[in-house]
Amino acid sequence: MATGVRYPAPGEHRTGDSLRQMHHVEVKRRMGEADIAEVSVLLAEVAAADRHRPLGEHKWLDLVHGGRTGFAGFVARDRTSGRLVGYAQLSQGHHTWGVEVVVAPGNRDPDAAVGADLLRAALDEVGRQGGGHVHLWVPQPTPVTDTMATSSGLVQGRDLLQMRIALPVPATAIGDAPPLTTRPFRPGQDEAAWLAVNNRAFANHPEQGGWTIDTLREREAEAWFDAEGFLLYERDGQLAGSCWTKVHSDCDPELGEIYVISVDPSLHGHGLGRALTIAGLDHLARRGITVGMLYVDAANRAAVHLYQSIGFALDHVDRAYTGDVAPSR
Ligand SMILES: CC(C)(COP(=O)(O)OP(=O)(O)OC[C@H]1O[C@@H](n2cnc3c(N)ncnc32)[C@H](O)[C@@H]1OP(=O)(O)O)[C@@H](O)C(=O)NCCC(=O)NCCS
């Protein structure tokens, strides 16, 4: 791990001169039903406090479906009451490990003691599993989460922007281009073509690239999946691009997400990305959704420019911290 910084030993928390054993961290390679139920309560508590649902969707699916290579859950409990005070999750992505740390609202202190212990346990596990590049995603970063990340030897990396737009999009933002003729995704038939274009378009993307048929089928099996909102655009019988939308019915107001959008790299720069985004937003607006939303990497200049020009504005930032962990055996 790229660190020379000293941090307290696991489960220890300095308060003045005393060193108290506040919590302990347990590693779980597979989460049982009771663990998942307990973590779900923690996630709901944190979502209500932060107005942001922790544990991104990829990680939530890893937790629920379990068993993926490299998966580990880390459970921090109060030593006295046994209560869950934090949870971290490790998963292995394309070229990189992903970690997310969730700390109960009542257990956040300026030293980030619970979070730092969870994070260190996760980084140790990466070392045990052969080491590698690590991303820690922090939604709505604060000085406390900065402390947690940097005290564990990670450095600030990518910022992910959540952008939003009021729907329907005004005609002035759409311009004169005729609407694109799309068709819904056909489960069981379109997977191979979609994966080929997606993986070409996101060739260098740590989470969105390198999808397999299993990654896609898992999403298709989710309750929110709606093939009618997964729009494909073909040219000369070949898939040229797609706009996959996702409705977050658990938000108030409901959010309509541009979930994955990609254009075959051989066709970039010809207005397809713009037309597909508008087609997706139009689909959402026709379903009665009044707020469109998406996540975009701040460094993805083409996409940020595209979304801003349509009228999307920044809602908040999620921050990645990164580091390289050496193998420990
Ligand atoms: C983002 C993406 C969908 C855009 O598709 P596209 O068909 O190339 O986009 P368009 O031709 O419609 O261009 C849209 C706007 O972006 C601009 N743009 C395109 N490439 C750009 C670049 N490299 N840098 C800056 N602006 C760029 C265009 O000039 C255009 O702006 P304008 O309408 O003001 O002239 C496409 O680049 C892609 O598939 N990228 C890989 C996957 C991805 O990053 N998806 C988005 C994740 S949130």
Mean pLDDT of 137-157: 90
Residue 14: the pLDDT is 41
Q: Is pTM, for the whole model, over 0.95?
A: no
C-beta 201 within 6 A of ligand 1: yes
Measured CA distances, 74 to 58, 122, 124, 242 (Å):
17, 7, 11, 37
Task: Please determine, for residue 277, whether its predicted confidence score (pLDDT) is greater than 80.
Answer: yes
CA nearest 99: which of 78, 77, 70? 70
Give the residue with greater pLDDT, 307 vs 32.
Answer: 307
Task: Convert the pLDDT of each residue in 52-64 to its tens digit.
Answer: 888 877 788 888 8
Under 8 Å between Cβ of 283 and 231: yes
Nearest to 248 by CA among 275, 214, 222: 222
Average pLDDT over residues 264-270: 95
Closest CA to 30 of 81, 76, 64: 64
pLDDT of residue 15: 38
Q: Kindly report the backbone phi and psi dihedral angles of residue 292, in degrees, each rounded to the nearest multiple of 5, phi listed first.
A: -95, 150
48-57, 183-192, 225-234, 314-323: which has the minimum mean pLDDT? 48-57
Mean pLDDT is highest, among 92-96, 127-131, 202-206, 248-252, for: 127-131
pLDDT for res 65: 83
Checking if the pLDDT of 310 tops 90, the result is yes
Give me the CATH code for the 168-289 domain, please: 3.40.630.30
The CATH 3.40.630.30 portion of the chain extends over 12-158+319-325, 168-289
Distance 302 CA to ligand 1 centre (A): 4
In this predicted structure, what is the pLDDT of residue 67?
A: 61
Confidence band of 1 (pLDDT split at 50, 70, 90)? very low
Determine the atom of ligand 1 nearest the C-alpha atom of 296: 48
Evaluate whether 136 touches 158 at the Cβ level (below 8 Å).
no
Task: Check whether 218 has a pLDDT greater than 60.
Answer: yes
Contact by Cβ (8 Å): 66, 91: no
Fold of 12-158+319-325: Aminopeptidase (3.40.630)
In this structure, are residues 137 and 297 in contact, taking their beta carbons and an 8 Å threshold?
no
Is the CB of 303 inside a 6 Å radius of any atom of ligand 1?
yes
